């Protein structure tokens, strides 16, 4: 099947919403998951495709001792300087887009999931690409507690990250599907929701395939 004809699902959610847990389950069903953040991290690792341009734009001081992007330094810079954020995005986003396309072309599953943390922040660009946008919804207090357990970040840093992302209600406004992973949702309930979405997307992808007359 041509990649343009493949049924694509955009998956997103704020920091600490549980995207990794959801995508792990989808991969277990044999579904191709394209991880935009993993691609971005590879591009900004030592010797990565974005490093030369980052040094040209921001200087070698923005790299760590191993030659990778110093993510903490860059995070502090882009929080304070919107122009710096735009320069970084102009370097990294084209690389991520290219790699997502290459990975999607190699995918062999009924539908493909694109795990894009900042999908809603660029929804005008992404919306035409996806048949469905699925939001993993989570209240802020639960986000904070999860990130505190997972990452070595201060409360102020976590709140700054949350504030820099699309507001919860805006994400929900753009959602075709919602997975609730907030306070009170245990792992069995989360897994049940993911299974239900998987079955829905299988059915919709098959309907789409038949509508287009694809084999």
**What would the pLDDT profile of 107-125 be if each residue is shown by its tens digit?**
999 999 999 999 999 899 8
Whether 211 has a pLDDT exceeding 60, the answer reads: yes
The whole-model pTM stands at 0.90
In a domain, 188, yes or no: yes
Q: What angle do CA 49, 51, 56 make, to 5 degrees?
A: 125
pLDDT digits (tens, 9 = 90+) for 136-145: 999 999 999 9
In a domain, 165, yes or no: yes
Which segments of 15-81 does DSSP mark as H helices, in order? 19-28, 36-43, 51-58, 71-80
Residue at token pair 């493909």 = 112
pLDDT digits (tens, 9 = 90+) for 142-167: 999 999 988 878 999 899 899 989 99
Tell me whether strands 32-35 and 111-115 are parallel, antiparallel or unpaired. parallel
What is the number of structural domains in the chain? 2
Domain boundary among 92, 108, 124: 108
Q: What is the pLDDT of residue 179?
A: 98
Is the domain of 89 the same as that of 57?
Answer: yes
Q: What is the pLDDT of residue 2?
A: 45
Name beta bridge partners: 112: 8, 32
In a domain, 135, yes or no: yes
Is the domain of 145 the same as that of 165?
Answer: yes
| Dihedral class, residue 185 (left if φ above 0, else alpha if ψ from -120 to 50, else beta) | beta
Is the domain of 140 the same as that of 201?
Answer: yes
Domain that holds residue 169: 1-31+111-215
């Amino acid at each position: 099947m041509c990649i343009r004809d493949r049924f694509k699902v955009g998956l997103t959610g704020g920091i600490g919403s549980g995207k990794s847990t959801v995508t792990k389950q989808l991969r277990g069903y044999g579904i191709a998951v394209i991880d935009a953040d993993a691609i971005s991290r590879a591009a900004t690792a030592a010797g990565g495709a974005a490093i030369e341009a980052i040094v040209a734009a921001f200087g070698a001081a923005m790299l760590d001792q191993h030659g990778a992007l110093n993510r903490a330094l860059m995070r502090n810079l882009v929080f304070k300087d919107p122009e710096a954020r735009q320069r970084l995005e102009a370097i990294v986003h084209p690389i991520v887009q290219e790699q997502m396309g290459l990975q999607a072309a190699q995918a062999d599953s009924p539908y493909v999931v694109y795990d894009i943390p900042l999908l809603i922040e660029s929804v005008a660009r992404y919306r035409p690409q996806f048949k469905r946008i699925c939001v993993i919804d989570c209240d802020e207090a639960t986000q904070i507690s999860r990130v505190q357990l997972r990452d070595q970040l201060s409360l102020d840093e976590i709140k700054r990250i949350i504030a820099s992302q699309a507001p919860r209600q805006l994400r929900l406004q753009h959602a075709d599907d919602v997975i609730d992973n907030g306070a009170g949702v245990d792992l069995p309930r989360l897994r049940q929701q993911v299974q239900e979405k998987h079955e829905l997307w299988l059915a919709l992808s098959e309907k789409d395939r038949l509508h287009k007359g694809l084999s």
